[in-house]
């Protein structure tokens, strides 16, 4: 199956006659796919624009100084130590020519493939709300989280120097979107403000506020009503102002305007309201569905291109209950299914349709509070929910060092009510000394 041209254009040195599998994205789907190809007689190249795999469910904890960036990221090459049929390429995929089976990169020669697995994830979607793209803080990547952390801490420093800035919203954070990410970061911000109260005894940190805005009439859409009510109750009891049935009409550098005309002065809008498929989906020239996702066949392949699979947030697939959510288990199960399909085809068998097994969902509000909805109708809340949330996230993190670092940070934060990562880390170009 491997073509001669593939041997000249790919960077692999051990390719021989083995089929080439290119996996675009080293996230939840891409890593799971490459791991699932371990025992197949193929050579795999994982391409990612970064050299690390990010554990996005804990990204908000980096933004709120509970964890450091290295705690939730793992070097992609390191993940595949010991898996000899995988190589990694750090490059941004700029396009895919489906007819000539060629992946275009921003650096280096293109990659030719026999099989392609597209798992480039999703990007923030401002839904065209004026000013959000310019003034909002997305939370989709480690640079996003670091930018938000720096910005938050800097605004406390500035308000400490000039307390008049509090009235201008320097200590006010508006969070858009009442899904798990919006709920989790709102609860974490309330906890961070408590810590900052000790850092800035001369500043009235009691005036720092979090406003969580959700256009629906409940938080955590898709969760059971009792979980939604618990999240709402807990957030409000922790000082978060929750505005349901409210839309953001405009984001400006100095505030946010809501659809009822009211304005909240703020310098910080966290946009957790929506995502769409990675723009790579737009350049493939194939049918796209909801949120720009690539419409796939029931085996996750692209119609007309049985050698191309799209998985995770980029894929627009449905099961009997409708479209699948953009969550990590969908990406990981899709990845394993794509690998199974490749194995079947190599063995001369036909593919089976993808079936997603929903193992439940979780969201935490913070200390001693999380909602967890597990199989068999099991629902946990409060401390039991929180402990199950902590345990599951620890288990799912990639790498023993990351698990140990996260556990240590969590234990430290819990015992001391501290946030050890509350440092403003200027990058080159941000510092006043950089000229
Ligand atoms: C803040 C946040 C919190 C979340 N919380 C949860 C949660 O609690 N539970 C849950 O199940 N899910 C959660 N999710 C969703 C979950 O992370 C995604 O559904 C999952 O990551 C999708 O996997 P993926 O492989 O499709 O994409 P990703 O895991 O995002 O991986 C995409 C990879 O592609 C790379 N990439 C992108 N574009 C290119 C390009 N052009 N060239 C090369 N590489 C590229 C990226 O660098 C990235 O490594 C959360 C997401 C976010 C952002």
If you write DSSP's letter for every residue of 177-198 in order, what string do you get? --SHHHHHHHHHHHHHHHHHHH
Ligand 1 pocket check for 257: Cβ under 6 Å:
no
Q: List the beta bridge partners of residue 362.
A: 372
Distance between Cα 27 and ligand 1 center (Å): 6
Tokens coding 53: 């795999």
Best probe residue, ligand 1, of 32, 108, 120, 356 (max atoms within 8 Å of C-beta): 120
Q: List the beta bridge partners of residue 188.
A: none
Q: List the beta bridge partners of residue 369.
A: 366
Greatest extent of the chain over all pairs of C-alpha atoms, in Å: 72
Ligand 1 pocket check for 280: Cβ under 6 Å:
yes
pLDDT at 427: 79
Report which protein residue has its CA nearest ligand 1's atom 15: 327
Q: List the beta bridge partners of residue 124.
A: 275
Ligand 1 pocket check for 335: Cβ under 6 Å:
no
Q: Catalytic pick from 184, 191, 214, 307? A: 184
Ligand 1 pocket check for 123: Cβ under 6 Å:
no
How far apart CA 182 and CA 190 sit, in angstroms, is 12
Written as tens digits, the pLDDT of the chain (435 aa) is: 444 333 333 444 444 579 999 999 999 999 999 999 999 999 999 999 999 999 999 999 999 999 999 999 999 999 999 999 999 999 999 999 999 999 999 999 999 999 999 999 999 999 999 999 999 999 999 999 999 999 999 999 999 999 999 999 999 999 999 999 999 999 999 999 999 999 999 999 999 999 999 999 999 999 999 999 999 999 999 999 999 999 999 999 999 999 999 999 999 999 999 899 999 999 999 999 999 999 999 999 999 999 999 999 999 987 766 789 999 999 999 999 999 999 999 999 999 999 999 999 999 999 999 999 999 999 999 999 999 999 999 999 999 999 999 999 999 999 999 999 999 998 777 766 665
- By CB atoms closer than 10 A (0-12, 13-18, 19+), residue 239 is middle
How far apart CA 182 and CA 103 sit, in angstroms, is 35
Ligand 1 pocket check for 398: Cβ under 6 Å:
no
Q: Is 184 assigned a catalytic role?
A: yes
pLDDT at 247: 96
Ligand 1 pocket check for 131: Cβ under 6 Å:
no
How far apart CA 156 and CA 203 sit, in angstroms, is 9
Best probe residue, ligand 1, of 22, 28, 88, 296 (max atoms within 8 Å of C-beta): 28
Given the CA of residue 52, which atom of ligand 1 is nearest to it? 49
Single pTM value for the model? 0.94
Ligand 1 pocket check for 28: Cβ under 6 Å:
yes
Residue 102: phi and psi, rounded to 5, are -140, 130
């Amino acid at each position: 199956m491997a073509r001669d041209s593939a041997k000249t254009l790919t960077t692999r040195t051990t390719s021989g006659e083995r089929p080439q599998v290119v996996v675009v994205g080293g996230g939840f789907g891409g890593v799971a796919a490459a791991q699932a190809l371990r025992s197949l007689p193929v050579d795999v190249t994982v391409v990612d624009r970064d050299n690390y795999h990010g554990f996005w469910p804990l990204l908000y904890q980096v933004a709120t100084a509970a964890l450091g960036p290295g705690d939730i990221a793992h070097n992609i090459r390191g993940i595949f130590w010991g898996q000899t049929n995988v190589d990694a390429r750090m490059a941004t995929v700029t396009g895919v020519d489906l007819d000539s089976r060629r992946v275009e990169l921003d650096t280096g020669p293109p990659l030719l493939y026999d099989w392609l697995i597209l798992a480039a994830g999703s990007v923030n979607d401002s839904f065209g709300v004026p000013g959000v793209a310019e003034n909002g803080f997305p939370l989709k990547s480690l640079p996003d989280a670091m930018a938000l952390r720096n910005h938050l801490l800097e605004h406390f420093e500035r308000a400490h120097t000039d307390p008049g800035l509090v009235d201008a919203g320097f200590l006010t954070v508006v969070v858009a979107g009442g899904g798990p990410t919006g709920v989790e970061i709102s609860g974490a911000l309330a906890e961070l403000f408590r810590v900052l109260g000790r850092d800035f005894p001369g500043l009235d940190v009691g005036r720092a506020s979090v406003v969580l805005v959700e256009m629906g009439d409940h938080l955590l859409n898709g969760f059971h009503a009792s979980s939604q009510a618990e999240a709402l109750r807990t957030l409000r009891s922790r000082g978060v102002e929750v505005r349901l049935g409210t839309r953001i009409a405009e984001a400006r550098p100095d505030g946010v305007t809501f659809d009822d005309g009211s304005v909240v002065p703020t310098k910080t809008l966290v946009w957790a309201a929506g995502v769409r498929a990675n723009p790579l989906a737009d350049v493939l020239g194939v049918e796209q569905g909801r949120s720009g996702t690539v419409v796939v066949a029931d085996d996750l392949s692209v119609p007309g291109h049985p050698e191309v699979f799209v998985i995770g947030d980029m894929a627009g697939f449905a099961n009997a209950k409708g479209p699948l959510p953009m969550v990590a288990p969908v990406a990981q199960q899709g990845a394993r299914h794509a690998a199974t399909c490749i194995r079947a085809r190599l063995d001369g068998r036909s593919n089976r349709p993808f079936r997603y097994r929903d193992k439940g969902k979780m969201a935490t509000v913070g200390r001693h509070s999380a909602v967890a909805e597990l199989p068999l109708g099991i629902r946990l809340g409060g401390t039991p929910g929180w402990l199950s949330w902590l345990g599951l996230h620890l288990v799912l993190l990639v790498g023993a060092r990351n698990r140990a670092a996260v556990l240590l940070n969590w234990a430290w934060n819990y015992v001391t009510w501290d946030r050890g990562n509350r440092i403003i880390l200027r990058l080159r170009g941000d510092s006043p000394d950089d000229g």
